[in-house]
Structure 1
Amino acid sequence: MLWVKALHIIFVTSWFAGLFYLPRIYVNLAMETETHAYARLLLMAQKLYRFMQPLMLLALAFGLWLWLGYGITGGWMHAKLTLIILLIGYHHYCGKLLKQFLAQQNKRSHVWFRWFNEVPVLILFAVVILVVVKPF
């Protein structure tokens, strides 16, 4: 089970790296006026989002394996699962935003994306506290 736990942590960390960086690219895309730079940032965003997909799936698969393997229960786990569902929604919303940038239909400012970029930080903060402290 320790291998499963290690792999879960590795894939969660990798997935979060993408969740932290992709919206940061969106901040730059929202500010960019030069066509070549915009195209380069857009390509980076596309590649990162494609890379994040399997990381998310592997993080979820190993997390599910741990959950079912250990038979973990408790209110903290229900709260964590709720946050994970929100995080999956955030991930897919990032994909929707990418499609808007690809179609050059973004209507949001770089300031909005700066705030949007903070969402996974807050979720990570709450999930780590729930898993380590198990407050309820």
Structure 2
Amino acid sequence: MSILWLKAFHVFFMIAWMAGIFYLPRLFVYHAASKHQETKDQFKIMERRLWFFVTPFALLTLILGILIVYQYGLEWFKASVWLHVKLTVVALFYAYHVYLYYLVKMFAADKNTKSPLFYRIINELPVLALLAIVLLSILKPF
């Protein structure tokens, strides 16, 4: 497969993944603020479905990223310092993805202890990480 096809699908699946990753904590904001059990139960369904919907996109993003690195070769990988920094930020995104699953499970068990403000903050911070990933990928500053 052409490297351009790999890159195109890598970016597509990354965008789909990020859409869900940005929306899930927003659901947590509303869930944490909810007072009615019926509404909370609806949020539980939405959160679980969304996490399981976007997880394959995260996996496809990872697989395609690995294939792209493989296509470019080991020497390119070793010389691409910008990529090492990007991959560190990407690893944090995967850790964040797993943490969101933990939160889904906490909400599902009615064991949330965090405020809506906490979820607003964790909803906004990944935007900076995504900006770093895009800038590193496009500018390749080092």
TM tier, smaller: over 0.9
AA at the equivalent of 1:89? A
Give the Cα separation in 2 of the matches to 1:116 and 1:67.
Answer: 30
Equivalent residue for 2:94, pick from 84, 88, 93: 88
Q: Does 1:107 align with 2:113?
A: yes
Contact 1:22 1:45 in 2 (8 A): yes
- Structure 2 residue aligned with 1:58: 60
Summarize deviations over 1:82-135 as a string: whole Å, max 9, x none.
001100000000000111101111100000100011122111000000011111
Unpaired segments ≥5 residues, structure 2: none
AA at the equivalent of 1:127? I
State the TM-score, normalized to the length of structure 1: 0.96
Q: CA deviation at 1:29?
A: 0.6
Q: Name the % identity.
A: 40
State the TM-score, normalized to the length of structure 2: 0.93
Q: Which moved more, 1:104-113 or 1:64-73?
A: 64-73
**What is the CA RMSD across the aligned residues, in angstroms?**
0.9
- Structure 2 residue aligned with 1:43: 45
Q: Does 1:14 align with 2:16?
A: yes
Equivalent residue for 2:4, pick from 2, 6, 14: 2
Q: Which moved more, 1:105-114 or 1:118-127?
A: 118-127
State the aligned residue count: 136
Q: CA deviation at 1:75?
A: 1.2
Runs of 4+ more than 6 Å apart: none
Task: For residue 112 of structure 1, give the secondary structure of its aligned residue in structure 2.
Answer: helix
Q: Which moved more, 1:57-66 or 1:67-76?
A: 67-76
Q: Does 1:132 align with 2:138?
A: yes
Q: CA deviation at 1:5?
A: 1.0
Unpaired segments ≥5 residues, structure 1: none
Give the Cα separation in 1 of the matches to 2:138 and 2:72.
Answer: 16
Give the Cα separation in 2 of the matches to 1:5 and 1:78.
Answer: 17
Summarize deviations over 1:52-104 as a string: whole Å, max 9, x none.
11110001101111111113432111100100110000000000011110111
